Amino acid sequence: MFGSELVDAIDGQARVHPDRVAFCNSEGERITYVELRDQSNALACWLADADHVAPDVPVVLFGHKSPYMLTCILACAKSGHPYAPVDTVYPADRVARIVEQVGNTLLIDTTATDAGKAAAVAAPRVSLDNLREICAQTVTQDAIEALPGTGRDRTFYILFTSGSTGDPKGVEITGECVDEFSRWMMSDYVFEEDGVRTWFNRTPYSFDVSITDLVCGTTRGDTTFALEAEADASLAKTFEALADCDATDWVSTPSFVEQCLADVAYDASLMPRLKRMLLAGETLRPATVREVKRRFPGIHVYNGYGPTESTDLVTLCEITDEMLENDLALPIGYAKTGSDLVVLDPETLEQKPDGEPGELFVAGNTVARGYYGRSDLTQAAFGVCPEPLAQGRRSYRTGDEVTREANGLYYFHGRLDLQIKLHGYRIELGDIESTLVSTPLVHMACVLPVVRDGSIHHLTAFVVPTEAATERGLKLTRQIKSLVRGMLPSYMIPRTFRYLDEMPLNTNGKADRKALSALVDV
């Protein structure tokens, strides 16, 4: 009735299992399906009032793992507003820039503690106290039925990701993308079986892996358990939460699993019901899967891959024992139903035969509309794939180098540009570099990933300091880090800095990354 299969499915659960917990977190907050329906209806009616926010414009949702995030997501869809989730890990400056890009429309703040960051924005703000009051209001059936809802052609969410020039860019995902992604996941991953499942969620709603949790965890009336940031900082608290949540299904990055595996207590006795693990967001190492299978006998481990610009995942497969025996690198999966994955020569745009590496282009029913308010960026990345290969459908140029094998499995090799994934976080190196040179201490900067054991270990920055920088070494590093801390989330701050008198340049007059990476490998 709201024009979204996902939203209607979640509301449907409120009729069938009203008192079942839809979402809970390690702080003990929880929401049932009927509460989720009623609260989101109340908030949607408030949002549908043009005195509160103009119709159709995006609404920024600021928060982390509060059940209110889920309420707000549904309310936005029901009232016809795209939502733009912004996580509390972002510093105030980045929050303000995203809110400004969205048009300073309205910000809903679901946090009690991080009010400072969200309070600085120019947009009107709904505080947690206001939000509680609005959600508790009783609304009439007539008002609910009059809600505009969303639709397949409308923007469902706008997810901001690192942009190469230092400004985050907002990926616009439509209702069609969400529903088609949802259908695929429900048929190819979430198989029908008896019993309520509990989904362990570690990713905040502002990162696209979370759409997988949202879709899988709620469509069938399951329970999602989210790990709060406080527990995240302490592995002891994380393990307590893992034991308490008793999850059957796990979704995270490989790095988080590796972190847990470092403790012998992470095994089937800690999480006896754990049956499935879906890993995505970065390279999955065979050793990680072998160890998971040893600790959790009988577990099914899946590897997935996809860009934010095509709704989280476009490939998926179970990692079999055969793959672990034969392969040095694990496949990222088979192509999603409804998507055409095309491997092309990045220069000539000619199709590459199976077994040969090339750039991956994705076409099909989960490709984003583009970048919000940035037709220049949209034109460069969308619709580039030659029409016949894209079957006349919208396509996205990923910048990822992959190979398709004759058996239909895809393998990921790396990036063709300066975008990287560090522990699952998508980062444009240019974003960090332009932030560094915006400080008075840095004249020139070049940031490089340091690779160990086949995956990105940390970032290092080569810096030519300005005359204002009187210190060198760790002292200067600390000064620069303290300056950028207010501008970049912590995962984007390079761990180490090296200082140069001059930046080595290539023939184009740009920083010579090859020469610098030779210094990193020593």
**Residue closer to other proteins, measured from CB, 265 or 518:** 265
Q: Phi and psi of 206, rounded to 5°?
A: -85, 0
CB 34 within 8 A of CB 17: no
- Span between the terminal Cα atoms of the chain, in Å: 61
Rg from Cα positions in the chain: 23
Cα separation, 7 vs 284, in Å, equals 32
- Residue 259 CB, nearest approach to other proteins (Å): 6
Single residue of 16, 50, 264, 328 touching other proteins by CB under 8 A:
264
Q: Is 265 in the site for other proteins (CB under 8 A)?
A: yes
Let me know the angle formed at the C-alpha of 455 by 452 and 456, rounded to the nearest 5 degrees. Answer: 80
SS (H, E, C) 360-408: EEEEECCCCCEECCCHHHHHHHECCCCCCCCCCCCEEEEEEEEEECCCC
Closer to other proteins by CB, 105 or 259: give it: 259
Strand order in the sheet with 334-335: 30-32, 21-25, 223-226, 198-201, 249-252, 276-279, 300-305, 315-318, 334-335
- Calculate the alpha carbon distances from 373 to 105, 155, 158, 170 in Å: 14, 13, 11, 8
Distance in angstroms (rounded) separating the CA atoms of residues 21 and 384: 44
Member of 235, 451, 483, 515 binding other proteins (CB under 8 A): 235
Among 113, 187, 234, 391, binds other proteins (CB under 8 A): 234
Determine if 239 is a binding residue for other proteins (CB under 8 A): yes
Residue from 8, 27, 258, 512 touching other proteins (CB under 8 A): that is 258
Which listed residue (391, 495, 506, 519) binds other proteins by CB under 8 A?
495
Residue 105 carries which side chain, given as an amino acid letter? T
Q: Give me the phi and psi of 304, to 5 degrees please.
A: -135, 160
> Which residue in the set 450, 483, 500, 503 belongs to the binding site for other proteins (CB under 8 A)?
450
Residue 380 or residue 474: which is nearer to other proteins going by CB? Answer: 474
For residue 259, state whether it binds other proteins (rule: CB under 8 A): yes
C-beta of 136 vs 474, nearer to other proteins: 474
Q: Choose one: 120-128, 187-195, 434-442, 488-496; the region binding other proteins (CB under 8 A).
A: 488-496
Q: Which is nearer to other proteins, 136 or 243 (CB)?
A: 243
Residue owning tokens 């040969």: 356
Which whole-number Å values give the CA distances from 200 to 71, 88, 299, 386, 398, in the listed order? Answer: 19, 20, 15, 40, 28
Residue 460 binds other proteins (CB under 8 A): yes
Does 490 engage in binding with other proteins (CB under 8 A)?
A: yes
Least Cβ distance, residue 162 to other proteins (angstroms): 17
Taking CB under 8 A as the rule, does residue 263 contact other proteins? yes
Restricting to residues 282-301, which ones interact with other proteins according to CB under 8 A?
none
Helix, strand or coil, per DSSP, at residue 498: strand
519 contributes a contact to other proteins by CB under 8 A: no
Between residue 340 and residue 359, which ones bind other proteins under the rule CB under 8 A? Answer: none
Interface size with other proteins, residues (CB under 8 A): 27
Tell me the helices (H) and strands (E) count for the chain, helix number first: 18, 25
The candidate with the shortest Cα–Cα distance to 493, out of 501, 502, 484, is 484
132 part of the interface to other proteins, by CB under 8 A: no
The interface with other proteins within residues 84-113 (CB under 8 A) comprises none
Cβ proximity to other proteins, 239 vs 334, nearer residue: 239
Instruction: Closer to other proteins by CB, 452 or 514: give it.
Output: 452
Residue 478 binds to other proteins (criterion: CB under 8 A): yes
Q: Does 423 bind other proteins (CB under 8 A)?
A: yes
- The residue from 20, 374, 426, 481 that contacts other proteins (CB under 8 A) is 481
Distance (Å, whole) CA 515 – CA 511: 9
Contacting range for other proteins; rule: CB under 8 A; set: 135-143, 172-180, 226-234, 409-417: 226-234
Ramachandran assignment for 135, one of left (phi > 0), alpha (psi -120 to 50 degrees), beta (any other): alpha
Q: Which stretch binds other proteins (CB under 8 A): 107-115, 261-269, 312-320, 376-384?
A: 261-269
Which one, 1 or 236, has the nearer CB to other proteins?
236
Q: In the complex, what is the shortest distance from the CB of residue 473 to other proteins, in angstroms, rounded to a whole number?
A: 5
Residue among 255, 283, 315, 366 that touches other proteins (CB under 8 A): 255
82: which 2 tokens? 């795209």
We find the least distance from the C-beta atom of residue 457 to other proteins, in angstroms, to be 8
Nearer to other proteins, 119 or 519 (CB): 519
Instruction: Establish if 458 lies at the interface with other proteins (CB under 8 A).
Output: yes
CB of 493 to other proteins, least distance (A): 5
Q: Write the DSSP string, 3-25.
A: S-HHHHHHHHHHHHSTTSEEEEE
Dump the DSSP string for 79-109: HT--EEEEETTS-HHHHHHHHHHHTS--EEE
What DSSP line would sit under 210-236, residue for residue? HHHHHHHHHHTT-EEEE--HHHHT-HH
Among the residue ranges 36-44, 122-130, 358-366, 476-484, the one whose residues contact other proteins (CB under 8 A): 476-484
Q: Considering only residues 11, 477, 511, 516, which one is a binding residue for other proteins as defined by CB under 8 A?
A: 477
Supply the minimum distance, in Å, between the C-beta of residue 320 and other proteins.
Answer: 28
Q: Return the exposure string of 477-497: e unless at least 16 CB atoms fall within 10 Å of the residue's CB, then b.
A: bebbbebbeebbbeebbbeeb
Residue numbers of the site for other proteins (CB under 8 A)? 232-236, 238-239, 255, 258-259, 262-265, 423, 450, 458, 460, 473-474, 477-478, 481, 490, 493, 495-496
